[in-house]
Amino acid sequence: MNVVQAALAVGVEHAVKCSVWGASTDASIARRRDHARIENVLATSGLGYTLLRPQAFMQNNMLLYAPAIKKTGRFGSSHGSGGVAMVDVRDIAAVAAKIAAAPFEQFVTDHRAAYR
């Protein structure tokens, strides 16, 4: 991808990518396949990288749920008994900034297998 090639050309040593939960080349959702393709380019580029894969941003859902929350103090969803790991976009940004500022001081591992 052009951005990875450009980063390498100017000497970037480490990239932080905000990907998506469930990114996979065989995912049923196109956006997840698109992110997986970018992840694969990073993985084979020689560039150091960290992938952040949040499942759901609180800000995306709270506007949708605001009327129910106002009326009942609660909200429901179609997730059944399954959980959703909502995260605040500011928390993801803070983690990305910390890693970008000092990528080699962070303990980074691959947790993708735990989410499959």
Q: Which two tokens stand for residue 111?
A: 């947790």
Provide the angle, in degrees to the nearest 10, between the axes of the packed helices 30-45 and 2-9. Answer: 20
**Alpha carbons 91 and 97: distance in angstroms, whole number:** 10
Mean pLDDT of the chain: 84
Residue type at 84 in one-letter notation: V
The tens digit of pLDDT for each residue in 7-27 reads 999 999 899 999 998 999 999
Query: C-alpha distances in angstroms, 71 versus 65, 68, 79?
Result: 10, 5, 21
pTM of this structure = 0.75
pLDDT in tens, 54-72: 888 888 877 888 888 899 9
